[in-house]
Amino acid sequence: MPRCKYILLDCDNTLCLSEHLAFEACTDLTNEVLEKFGKSERYTVKQLLEDFVGHNFRGMLVGLQQKHEFKMSPEEVDAYVDRELGAVTAKLSEKCEPCPGVLEQLAWAKKEGYPMSVVSTSAKPRVVASIKKHVYSAATSMEKPSSKPDPAIYNFACEKLGVSQKECLTVEDSKSGATAAMRAGIPLIGYVGVYGIEEGKEKMEQMAKILKEQCNAAVIMYDWKEFPDCVKKIESMM
């Protein structure tokens, strides 16, 4: 049976419970942007998550401009991205916790000899504040920043690691991240356990269906303790 040559891991709400904390930190900045450009709409943390989960703040600002019909200069975008990174990094450094069971399974993968790398939409300082691993960031690692569902960061990581996409597997929790993996041609474990923790079983099953049917997840993982079996299942398909 072929063996996976690299395990690529999303960070937010896959390795660590960081998504809600990060959106707490950037909601005020989002509403500040809307007020500055004369827009009456305001977001709660929950609304911002529903509209922009899986996007980094630069991608979120692009989406806000499109949705609410206003235009920011590149300099304004850069300034807000810098402010958001500082606020989010501080909050994650203080409060971020790993997803249940993930540390044990990373230890298992290391013991089994699987190389691992984090491939995230988020800026590298934010990811490092969440969990210290080898990191490729769509926001800061590449010459031209991007955001999932663009597969560019996955292709970039594979090139740097010297492996083909089909020789890897990845773990993603969001539709945007899973779509990036699908577009890159990387076998996907869809992790939905975090939805059960934060939003309940109905949302968890809804996301399982989305990741399976829309994003071609090879296997759905409800709990990190299932990780070794998920890896073996994907390897049996290679």
Instruction: Indicate the domain borders of the chain.
Output: 6-17+97-237, 19-95
User: Which segments within 109-152 are labelled E, that is strand?
Assistant: 116-120, 135-137
pTM: 0.75
> Strand order in 168-172's β-sheet?
135-137, 116-120, 6-9, 168-172, 188-191, 219-221
Query: What residues does 190 pair with on adjacent strands?
Result: 172, 220
> Mean pLDDT, to the nearest integer, of 59-83?
94
- With a cut of 80, say whether residue 91 has pLDDT above it: yes
Name the strand (E) or helix (H) holding 41: none
Q: Please list the alpha-helical segments (H only) found in the chain.
A: 19-36, 45-52, 57-68, 74-95, 102-111, 124-130, 152-161, 175-184, 193-198, 201-213, 227-237
Q: Give the C-alpha separation, 98 to 121, whole Å.
A: 18
CB under 8 Å to 38, separation ≥6 — which residues? Answer: 70
Q: Are the C-beta atoms of 190 and 28 separated by less than 8 Å? A: no
- Looking at CATH, the fold of the domain delimited by 6-17+97-237 is given as Rossmann fold (3.40.50)
Confidence of residue 22 (pLDDT cuts 50, 70, 90): confident
Query: What residues does 169 pair with on adjacent strands?
Result: 7
Give me the pLDDT at residue 55, please: 81
- With a cut of 90, say whether residue 94 has pLDDT above it: no
DSSP letter at 99 equals P
Give me the pLDDT at residue 196, please: 87
- With a cut of 50, say whether residue 131 has pLDDT above it: no
> Mean pLDDT, to the nearest integer, of 96-106?
90
- With a cut of 60, say whether residue 46 has pLDDT above it: yes
Give me the pLDDT at residue 146, please: 76
pLDDT tens sequence across 158-214: 999 999 999 999 999 999 999 999 999 999 999 999 898 888 899 999 999 999 999
> Mean pLDDT, to the nearest integer, of 111-124?
81
